[in-house]
A = this chain, B = another copy of it.
Amino acid sequence: MKKFKRSARLVEMTQYLMSKPHTLIPLTTFADRYGAAKSSISEDLAIIKEVCESEGTGELLTLAGAAGGVKYIPKYALEQAKPVIEALCAQMGHPDRMLPGGYFYITDMLGQPSLMNDIGRMFASVFSNHDIDVVMTVETKGIPIAYATAAYLNLPVVLVRRDHVVTEGSAVSINYVSGSQKSLHTMTLARRALKERSRVLIVDDFMRAGGTINGMIELLREFDATVAGVGVLVESEDVSQDERLLHEYVSLMRVKTEAVDPRTKQLNVALGNFFDKSGK
């Protein structure tokens, strides 16, 4: 057992807590780890809690009793999320990003792991109080967002495939119609990938009418599982309310390709409903 000074202990405890989000850690774990009295550990935790809460980086939940301990809940303060997403909106607005069919080139954004971590932390923050067993996405572009979200929530990721994959054993496939293009697609999930009655947070990079996400919801029914929430990085407003297949979701950005300024060719990209829902 190493002996730590308080200052070193605070550094190490902070690292330890940050590396184990949404995990109940008994006070005795820290007491044993640092060879310190529980009362000292409690004082340290009070300091960490105060910093996390005043900086908006997280909450430190203390659970009393024999099965008690402390749990670090990563958060993303709205006033800190806003400039990050505003900068992203400005990047998104560039006319070079428009592709045929109402799609956007956002691969460069999705290729920035630190940005994906920011986005995942935002979703983890807004869904932190939901009862969720697993984070789901469909390949390929939603994957980094799903992993970042799931890492902060300490949950596994389930990946829906476009085709049946030989290395995943027996699988369930469904056909679904994309809402905006009315074309038929397939998605597949390995039988052993999802437990029955799981509560699932669905995450994706882009949503227009919501056909793909609706497909995932349909797939969940095959596993007797339910949706616990939906989070999308970008929602397109190029669909009418009638065409929209999904109404309950959290978006970080909204884009409307129709509203292109003819002079600057700048797209109209705005903050998503995340900034309404999270309150204030």
- Which residues from B are CB-within-8-Å of A200? none
By the criterion CB–CB under 8 Å, are A7 and B10 in contact? yes
Complex-state Cα separation, A2 to B192, whole angstroms: 51
> Which residues 1-52 of A have a CB within 8 angstroms of B?
2, 6-8, 10-12, 14-15, 18, 20, 47-48, 50-52
Interface presence of A157 (CB below 8 A): yes
Closest to A18 in B: B18
Q: In the complex, which range does the number of interface residues on chain A fall in? A: 35 or more
22 of the cross-chain contacts (CB-CB < 8 Å) are A10-B11, A11-B14, A11-B47, A11-B51, A15-B52, A15-B55, A103-B166, A107-B167, A107-B190, A107-B193, A108-B156, A111-B156, A111-B157, A111-B158, A111-B159, A111-B193, A113-B155, A114-B151, A139-B140, A140-B161, A143-B147, A144-B147
Complex-state Cα separation, A103 to B12, whole angstroms: 40
Within the complex, which residue of B20, B105, B156 is in contact with A167, where a contact is CB–CB below 8 Å? Answer: B105
Assembly of this chain: how many copies?
A: 2
By the criterion CB–CB under 8 Å, are A113 and B151 in contact? yes
Interface presence of A264 (CB below 8 A): no
A200 CB to nearest B CB, Å = 13
Interface presence of A150 (CB below 8 A): yes
Within the complex, which residue of B6, B50, B144, B155 is in contact with A157, where a contact is CB–CB below 8 Å? Answer: B144
A206 CB to nearest B CB, Å = 9
Complex-state Cα separation, A154 to B116, whole angstroms: 12
Other 19 A-B pairs with CB < 8 A, given A2-B54, A107-B168, A116-B151: A8-B51, A10-B14, A11-B11, A11-B47, A14-B18, A18-B18, A20-B114, A99-B167, A105-B192, A107-B190, A108-B156, A111-B157, A111-B159, A111-B193, A112-B157, A113-B151, A113-B156, A140-B140, A144-B157
